[in-house]
Amino acid sequence: MRAVTWQGRHKISVETVPDPEIVNPRDAILRVTSTAICGSDLHLYDGYIPGMRAGDIVGHEFMGEVVDVGSGSSLKKGQRVVIPFTISCGQCFFCEKQQFSACDNANPAETRDASELLMGHAMGSAFGYAHLTGGYAGGQAEYVRVPYSDIGPVIIPDDLADEDVLFLSDILPTGWQAAINADIEPGDTVAIWGCGPVGLFTIQSARLLGADRVIAIDHFPARLALAKSLGAEILDYRQVNVREALDEMTGGIGPDACIDCVGMESHGFTLDNILDQVKAQFYSVTDRPHALRQAILACRKGGRVSIPGVYGGFADKFPLGQLMEKGLTVKSGQTHVQRYTGELLDMIRDGKFDMTSLVSHHAPLEDAAAMYRHWHDDQDDYTKIILKPGLEKTIVQNAHAMADA
């Protein structure tokens, strides 16, 4: 089969590799029909995620048709399913607590060791995301092996298109959990850093969970425009002092909840960020948490900070005293996708979410290398990319251009 592979920093290639096979009874094999590129894939692309090996198949946002099942799978051939990016057994202490991304069984005995050394406890598992998180092949491929297929997959009724449900795999539940973690109360103003796909679903979720006002922060006009169309007030951080603006918009107290949808590769030319970039070049720190610092400083006393943005290790100049003295509550984590997919599928059916206006491009799987380059270099034009194994090479479809035509 053909599959998108990581070959090194900024090196993605589509290769012919063996087809996956059923290995364990609970496995299923999927023929992938749609797969998206995520902001998390940028961290891999930029070489910030330890434990990648040349030749790894990437991709953790995907869906498709069941083509083979093991004896312990509850799926049937021909079913259409969306797969959560987190691989979870459903039976350990963590899965029973619905903390699926912390599953203690999905990361094999051999790969969990290194992650335990790095994090204090072994990490959970994900598709196509380095050997620290299990070393499983990803879904940017024609076929993929899905372990524990009786637990995660979301069965999709025929009347829903791929585009309506694909993001149940990650960014919709991630935005939803980010907003749930902000413990939103009536009257709240919620500030959201980053208007990438995660930020855009966090905006929608915060509003659905009852936020009175949502203020979104980024610097790309197209992404800010999408945020505005979803009901957020917007701040371009190149034009304003973000903290001053947030204070002035909230009578001086600051937002009740602040959500970091940026993660470890914060942009911007502020002094702390430039120092972080210099250090990150030499790998003495792994994270550039400019947006998170700002979120902590901006948050009102007694407020909440929610961090869906991904970080990999140690950070410099973390505002610890500010966090403590202001009495902030912090919640974070990889998304417990399986916990939310049922209710979110219902909400999609009820038309609660705009699932499609963020999608800027549909492209063939074969064009993955170019698409990764655009996703990295042209973030204003490329707001979400869906790859299709079926499409013929170089029939790139710009969704906005098609809509305008």
Partner 1 sequence: MIATDAPHWTLDKPSDRALFGKSLLINRPRQELFDAWQVERFPAFMENVIAIEPQAKDVSRWTVRAPAGRHVVLINRITRVVPGEAIYWQSEDASDIANSGEVRFRDAPNGRGTYVSLILAYAPPAGALGRWGAKLLQREPEVQARRDLHRFKQLMETGEVTSNASPSARSSERPTQPHI
Binding stretches for ligand NAD (CB under 6 A)? 38-40, 42-43, 170-171, 174, 193-199, 217-220, 223, 237, 261-263, 266-268, 290-291, 308-310, 334-335, 379
Q: For the sheet with 329-332, list strands across it.
A: 233-236, 213-218, 189-193, 257-260, 304-307, 329-332
Task: Identify residue 340 by its one-letter amino acid code.
Answer: Y
Site for Zn ion in 168-227 (CB under 5 A): 170
Distance separating alpha carbons of residues 44 and 33, to the nearest angstrom: 23
Q: Which does residue 367 touch among partner 1, Zn ion, ligand NAD, none (CB within 5 to 8 A, set by kind)?
A: none
Q: Which does residue 290 touch among ligand NAD, Zn ion, partner 1, none (CB within 5 to 8 A, set by kind)?
A: ligand NAD
- Please list, residue by residue across 132-153, b when 16 or more beta carbons sit within 10 angstroms of its beta carbon and e when fewer do: bbbbbbbbbbbbbbbbbbbbbb
Q: Which does residue 263 touch among ligand NAD, Zn ion, partner 1, none (CB within 5 to 8 A, set by kind)?
A: ligand NAD
Q: Residue from 8, 10, 11, 24 that binds partner 1 (CB under 8 A)?
A: 24
89 binds Zn ion (CB under 5 A): yes
Give the shortest CB-256-to-Zn ion separation in angstroms.
27
Distance separating alpha carbons of residues 84 and 144, to the nearest angstrom: 13
Q: Residue from 52, 95, 182, 190 that binds Zn ion (CB under 5 A)?
A: 95
Toward partner 1, which CB reaches closer, 124 or 263? 124
Distance separating alpha carbons of residues 173 and 110, to the nearest angstrom: 29
Toward partner 1, which CB reaches closer, 115 or 202? 115
Residue number with the shortest CB distance to Zn ion?
Answer: 38
104 binds partner 1 (CB under 8 A): yes
Distance separating alpha carbons of residues 164 and 156, to the nearest angstrom: 10
Q: Where are the alpha helices (DSSP H) in 61-146?
A: 93-96, 109-119
Toward ligand NAD, which CB reaches closer, 4 or 217? 217
User: For residue 18, what is the DSSP state?
Assistant: P
Toward Zn ion, which CB reaches closer, 40 or 189? 40
Distance separating alpha carbons of residues 225 and 206, to the nearest angstrom: 18
Distance separating alpha carbons of residues 190 and 199, to the nearest angstrom: 12
Q: Residue from 83, 103, 245, 387 that binds Zn ion (CB under 5 A)?
A: 103
Total site size for partner 1, rule CB under 8 A: 46
148 binds partner 1 (CB under 8 A): yes
Q: What is the CA radius of gyration of the chain?
A: 20
- Beta strand spans in 151-232 (E): 154-155, 189-193, 213-218
∠ CA 206-188-349, nearest 5°, is: 25
Toward partner 1, which CB reaches closer, 276 or 366? 366
Query: What residues line the site for Zn ion (CB under 5 A)?
Result: 38, 40, 89, 92, 95, 103, 105, 170
Query: What residues line the site for partner 1 (CB under 8 A)?
Result: 1, 3, 5, 7, 15, 17-21, 23-26, 53-57, 72, 89-93, 96, 104-113, 131, 134-137, 141, 144-145, 147-148
